[in-house]
Structure 1
Amino acid sequence: MSTEQAVAVQASDSTADNAASEIGALMDEVLALRDQVATDGAALMGRFGRSDHDAAIGNLAHYMSLRHRDLRPLQHRLMWRGLSSLGRIESRVLPTLDAVLCALAAMAGRQSPHPAPSEAAFFAGELRLANATDHLFGVPRQGRRSRIMVTLPSEAATDREVVFDLARRGMDIARINCAHDDHLAWRAMAANVRAAGEFVARRLTILMDIAGPKIRTETIVAPGSGVRLMAGDAFRLVAKAEPYGTEEVPFCAAVSLPEMVNRLSVGDRLRYDDGKLEGTVESVGDGEAIIRVARTKAGGTKLKSEKGINLPDTALGLSPLTDKDERDLATVVECADMVGYSFVSRPDDIDLLEEALARQGKPGHPIGLVAKIERPEAVKNLPDLIARASGRRPFAVMIARGDLAAEIGFERLAEMQEEILWICEAAGVPAIWATQVLEELVKHGVPSRGEMTDAAMAGRAECVMLNKGPEVGAAVDVLDRLLTRMDAHVFKKTSRMRALKSW
């Protein structure tokens, strides 16, 4: 062997030794991560009050522990070695780490202390989520995974063809909003949904949303029917007095929850009508508050009755379950497959609803619970909400993007929406993508480009909700086709490599 050949062999051996050393170090790092995730997860299970045998909540605890760490450098090194980047770990935290460890051990010539998961164990989380979704929402139409939920209009109570048409087009779940209409109308709507399910030979399910302590404008006073509030203007909120206008503040509104006016403080932010107007409390006193407008939509914003108010800085101290809600629950239990719980924020709120349902005298009734995530506290407490609800009854989460955006700000909505989807998948909890999906199409018959992309991304959730509107039937058609096509491309965060024929 020549000197040059010997040097080359020595260099090759040195490179191999360095690579083996690097792989060994990488394995040790993943092993340490795996052990810490297991330890921290056990502590979280204690906080949740759950046993080690609860696989779904156990995976949630492991996921929370994992995501409290910045894994980006580790992901980069794993990708370089042709291994999992951990980017699709939501439903299988420990199985993924164990699979990576076994691959690294084989590369390093070592033995992993954790056996490789079987295929069934690796995909068990996906199966849990699929089974939970089928049980709560019903089986979807062939060819797509995500369900389509439609908010029924009032005429669905008197014209059953409205419901039959939606069912033929692809509606899987009918939503009845208990903030509108009455008990007789809700029963008629539910009966029409059941009849439509028999007609299309599919199980159509019903979600009834109890209203909760939604703050809305009631009687309003404005200087003219077409006059709009602009940035710099002021308007008055009154608690119990009749609304009135003055030369300085000609706009005024009464509110559905008068006590909220007395809880306002100077500097608190107020958002009106899903963020079409934002202002700040300028003064409070004598059962009224003056709001100075900071921002409106282009051309200004009309002050109207029956529009929502959000107060992201104000501690309202309101129960999510109102007296009206408790009265409405009797009809919900009678007619629905699921109850939508508005403004739930703390685990104790779950107990509150469970107690109210028990008072209906049907403790064994298997009605499902959909927690509507609308406030920052609900996002922060979401793992604890899921853990408290788990095992009691079928459970899902609705990302109520209208109120949530108004509470946390539009800039953070997309980020929070992603985090909610990840947490739900980790816990095996179905998620509903709601508010303003294909809104232009529903209202005016022509979709915007941006909302088509939004609707395509919605397919990562287990259910997509459409609001009512004159063209909602056409929107169901479009959404059905869109979700079917996207299912061939994407599952959750995983791209599917179907054959492409676009070029």
Structure 2
Amino acid sequence: MTLPGKAEMPERPERLLEELLALRDEITGTADTLIARFEAVGARITPEVVNLAHYLVIRHHDLRPLQRALMWRGLSSMGRLESRVLPTLDAIAASLAALCGRVSPHPAPTEAAFFTGEARLEAATDALFGAPPLRRRCRVMVTLPSEAAGDAAFVLGLARAGMDVARINCAHDDAAAWRSMTAHVRAAADAEGREIRILMDVAGPKIRTEAVQGPKDRMKILAGEALRLVAAGRPRVSEEVPFSASVSLPEMVTRLVPGDRLRYDDGKLEGVVESLGDGEAVIRVRHTKTGGTKLKPEKGINLPDTALGLSPLTAKDEGDLATVVECADMIGYSFVSRAEDIDLLEEVLARFGAAGSPLGLVAKIERPEAVKNLPDLIARVAGRRPFGVMIARGDLAAELGFTRVAEMQEEILWLCEAASVPAVWATQVLEELVKTGLPSRGEMTDAAMAARAECVMLNKGPAVAEAITLLDELLGRMDAHLFKKTPRLRALKSW
């Protein structure tokens, strides 16, 4: 089918009906292969997984011509079928059949059946994050700073501002501090008379700079200069390579090959591997911030082209999980990439007596492999424990490139909705407000669009309480205008 032009007659309803029914048959037939693949990775084939399979099949088609032919007849744009693939097709087919004086072989769904996917997503969101606040659907997650361990009043202030989920980052502090933070969150929830869930985020094999060295007169690297990474020992500089850093994961250096890209500090610097030596790699810098990028310790390194072959759970993570099981309502799983990574985590949880527990799991989508394998990850967890997906936009942008992260964010949201999996919109939300007390105009729009997710995460900063208050109001207002991809046509009062 081609887009109707001035010299073309639009397709007749009879032809559209036959095309739609053929599409439906192809979807159900091809989805069986996908469902068999999900079963092979240990998935339970729930209705959510079946709809996910249907969605994956239909989105491999270019639906734009069919959309256009249906839209002008007032039938459907098919643009909001994520949670209800077959019900949407059946509703359209029934309407087309009525136009043709026929009866569709697939009856139109009831109202309840049509919106079942939305109900499933709501139930999954409540199971993971607890009951929603009165004025909004989207929850607010807040990363606790280290000082929260010793300041119960600070945590209470976050709760009063509207925090629904407290995030504890296990890359920082220790078990004693985490227990103290947990106690303060539970006390604040009791004082407010509502539940506040706790997510504890295990660190995973995060690659960071450690010791750094550069010219005495400056530490900013410019495009065209070279940076040496060393696997062991002190950083080593030379006239040809004036900057150097040791790394937190020495084996990464040995797995690089010439031409591999490297991004530093959320993409503030990008370079390629130029040469390799004994336990070291020289990176030629291609792009930096205007005026150069400062080389600092404890900054993240991303390697989008390098097959690291690392387990998402380090020895430290396994030790930390003992405290996570004790304190948390859900685990943030960093660097999860394959369905087998879920099994790895479950084995460790079983050792701590958490097999079959209601402990929730939030998979952080940070690397291209995780994006590619997301359907299998979702299917592997479905029906086993409360589950959500965090769109970790910082690492994802550094891995995929800034031009692709917005597009991929949308696709992940669609896939999660198709599977009735709550999504967390994370990284740099209201960052200027959190840091300075004054938001930028662009980040206000970003925060408003976060209402399409089930939870939005704020990072720590001096003005985080003000950011929670603003976000609470903003998300409540957006709920009246938007549900997922569906505009809500409430009455406008500005004109």
What interval of TM-score do these two structures reach, taking the shorter chain for normalisation? over 0.9
CA contact (8 A) 2:435 2:461 kept: yes
Contact kept, 8 Å, 2:46 with 2:383, in 1: the verdict is: no
Report which stretch shifted further, 160-169 or 43-52. Answer: 43-52
Matched, 1:219 2:211: yes
Kindly report which structure 2 residues correspond to 1:10-29, keeping only aligned pairs within 5 A, or say none.
22-29=12-19
Residue 361 of structure 1: how far off its partner (Å): 2.4
1:142: Cα distance to partner?
1.1
- Aligned residue for 1:290? 282
1:134-153 matches, within 5 Å, as: 134-153=126-145
Q: 1:356 corresponds to which residue?
A: 348
Matches within 5 A, 1:28-177: 28-49=18-39, 54-177=46-169
Q: Is the 8 Å Cα contact of residues 397 and 405 (structure 2) preserved in structure 1?
A: yes
Cα distance in 1 for partners of 2:195, 2:405 equals: 33
Q: Secondary structure at the match of 1:334?
A: helix
Number of the residue aligned with 1:304: 296
2: CA distance between counterparts of 1:437 and 1:398?
13
Root mean square deviation of aligned Cα: 1.5
1:346 matched to 2:338? The reply is: yes
| Aligned residues with identical type, % of pairs | 70
In the alignment, which residue of structure 1 is the partner of 2:267? 275
Please say which of residues 300-309 and 364-373 is displaced more in the overlay. Answer: 364-373
Q: Which residue number in structure 2 is paired with residue 6 of structure 1?
A: none
Matches within 5 A, 1:69-468: 69-224=61-216, 226-468=218-460
Native 8 Å contact 1:343 1:372 kept in 2: yes
Contact kept? 1:45, 1:52, Cα under 8 Å? no
Moved more, 89-98 or 133-142: 133-142
Does structure 2 retain, via aligned residues, the 8 Å contact 1:63–1:93?
A: yes
Do the aligned partners of residues 109 and 155 (structure 1) sit closer, same or farther apart at CA in structure 2, a change above 3 Å counting?
A: same
* Alignment partner of 1:496 out of 474, 488, 493: 488
Question: 2:10, 2:69 within 8 Å by CA — same for their partners in 1?
Answer: no
Amino acid in the other structure paired with 1:473: A
Deviation of 1:248 (Å): 2.3
- In 2, the alpha carbon distance for the partners of 1:340 and 1:315 equals 23
Report the CA distance between 1:19 and its aligned residue: 9.5
CA distance in 2, matches of 1:54, 1:317: 31
The residue identity in structure 1 corresponding to 2:491 is A
Letter in 1 for 2:326: E
Range with bigger deviation, 237-246 or 64-73: 237-246
Shift in CA distance, 51/243, structure 1 to aligned 2, threshold 3 Å: closer
For 1:246 and 1:164, locate their aligned partners in 2 and report how far apart those are by CA, in whole Å.
52
Secondary structure, counterpart of 2:391 in structure 1: strand
Cross-structure match for 2:5: none
Q: C-alpha displacement at 1:245, in angstroms?
A: 2.1
Distance 1:51 1:121, change over 3 A: farther
Contact 2:142–2:166 (CA under 8 A) maintained in structure 1? yes
Give the 3-state SS of the residue equivalent to 2:220 in structure 1. Answer: coil
Amino acid at match of 1:391: G
- State the distance in 2 between where 1:441 and 1:335 align: 30
Q: Deviations over 1:396-440 (max 9, x none)?
A: 000000000000000000110000000000000000000000001
Q: Calculate the TM-score normalised by the size of structure 2.
A: 0.96
Deviation of 1:389 after TM superposition, in Å, equals 1.1
Letter in 2 for 1:348: E
Unmatched tracts of structure 2, length 5 or more: 1-7
> In structure 1, what is the Cα distance between the partners aligned to 2:35 and 2:251?
39
2: CA distance, partners of 1:376 / 1:225: 38
Q: TM-score, normalised by structure 1?
A: 0.95
CA contact (8 A) 2:360 2:387 kept: yes
Deviation, 1:225, is 6.9
Query: Which amino acid counterpart does residue 32 of structure 1 have in structure 2?
Result: A
Name the aligned partner's letter for residue 501 of structure 1.
K
Whichever residue aligns with residue 149 of structure 2, its letter is A
Cα 1:225–1:397 change in 2 (3 A) is farther
| Secondary structure of 2:450's aligned partner | helix
Partner SS state of residue 363, structure 2: strand
CA distance in 1 between counterparts of 2:230 and 2:44 reads 53
| Residue aligned with 1:87, SS | coil
User: Shift in Å at residue 144 of structure 1?
Assistant: 0.6
Q: Does the Cα contact within 8 Å between 2:46 and 2:382 map onto a contact in 1?
A: no
